[in-house]
Amino acid sequence: MTLLTTAFVFPGQGSQVVGMGSDVAQAFSVAGQMYEEANDILGISISSLCFFGPEEDLNNTFNTQPALYVTSLAILRALETELPEIRPAFYAGHSLGELTALAASGAMTFADGLRLVRERGRLMEEAGKQNPGAMAALLGLNADVVEEVCRKAEETTGQTLVLANDNCPGQIVISGAVEAVDVGIVLAKEAGARRAVKLPVSIASHSPLMQAASDSFREALDTIEFSQPSAPVYANITAAPLETPDAIRAELTNQLVSRVRWTDTVQNLVKDGATTFVEIGPKDVLSGLNRRISSEITSVSLNSETAIREYVQNITTNT
């Protein structure tokens, strides 16, 4: 059963929360088994970290990335036990979620993807220690204005500052050197930002400060055998489908130092026929962004046992 106008989308960092996946793992044995498989692969209890925390450890990039990856795919597996033939027409994921989307689409195995996200988290954490940076969320400015803010901040400080995440109209994240981010916040407020808030991170994701991580991650990617996705997976960098294994490797390498074009991704999915966006993972961050990007779409968040069962009921009733 291919849902011809449905996109499955997967969240990135910021969606983690202690307790995530616990009810799903208890209600669906296949989800619990996926957590156990992840525990064996990683050599730690990622399930315990997801279900019980502590929050400080869960929020560590090295742990956050595999925790979100496993939780999203455990929810997907639970859904697939209820609707074995269900397939979306499109996939996409925000930042880390792009790797989850690729695993969900069959472009790589669960185990290979888990090892990749663990290594990705380690390399980003290492790059953050070597080149400490910062990020800030800006509300109420469009991308053109933010790009000019970044240019001025770089000119003033001589340090890197870039537009890292174009999340939805009026919600943008900048990333770069600490001093440049601080100046960028001041300039953003002067430019009319409704809010400009530094995020509680020391890693400048999706900026040139991640170049060392990007270079090393390419080596890890070269060890993985990628396949053709079962349906188009839209890339963060180009907002267009990834069509070959080489394109997937290039995307995942360069994504670490490039802008996440989420607004363009959702707009292109809508243009290509997506009308329903099903967010698979904890919380409902992407669903909120997606509704602000397009008023034409229906957003569904599968983040609990209850949400899964309600969605299954809706699908079986209406198909």
User: How many other CB atoms are there within 10 angstroms of residue 30's CB atom?
Assistant: 13
List every span in the chain annotated with CATH 3.40.366.10. 2-128+209-318
Question: Which is more confidently placed, 318 or 272?
Answer: 272
DSSP β-bridge partners for residue 300: 278
Question: For residue range 300-312, what is the model confidence (pLDDT) as tens digits?
Answer: 999 999 999 999 9
pLDDT at position 13 is: 94
Task: Catalogue the active-site residues.
Answer: 95, 206
* Residue 188 near residue 176 (C-beta atoms within 8 A): no
User: How many other CB atoms are there within 10 angstroms of residue 227's CB atom?
Assistant: 13
Computed over every residue of the chain, the mean pLDDT equals 97
Indicate the SS3 state at residue 206: coil
**Main-chain dihedrals φ then ψ at residue 44, nearest 5 degrees:** -140, 165
- The structure tokens 């202690």 sit at 18
List every span in the chain annotated with CATH 3.30.70.250. 139-201
Distance CA 176, CA 184 (A): 10
Question: For residue range 197-216, what is the model confidence (pLDDT) as tens digits?
Answer: 999 888 999 999 999 999 99
User: How many other CB atoms are there within 10 angstroms of residue 2's CB atom?
Assistant: 11
Residue by residue, what is the 3-state secondary structure of 6-42?
EEEEECCCCCCCCCCCHHHHHHCHHHHHHHHHHHHHH
Q: Which fold has domain 139-201?
A: Alpha-Beta Plaits (3.30.70)
The H or E element spanning position 204 is none
pLDDT at position 318 is: 84
Average pLDDT over residues 259-277: 98
pLDDT at position 2 is: 76
What predicted TM-score, i.e. pTM, was given to this entire model? 0.97
Question: For residue range 220-246, what is the model confidence (pLDDT) as tens digits?
Answer: 999 999 999 999 999 999 999 998 999
Question: For residue range 280-301, what is the model confidence (pLDDT) as tens digits?
Answer: 999 999 999 999 999 999 999 9
What contacts 63, CB < 8 A, 6 or more positions away? Answer: 46, 49, 57, 121
The CATH class of the 2-128+209-318 domain is alpha beta
Distance CA 240, CA 246 (A): 15
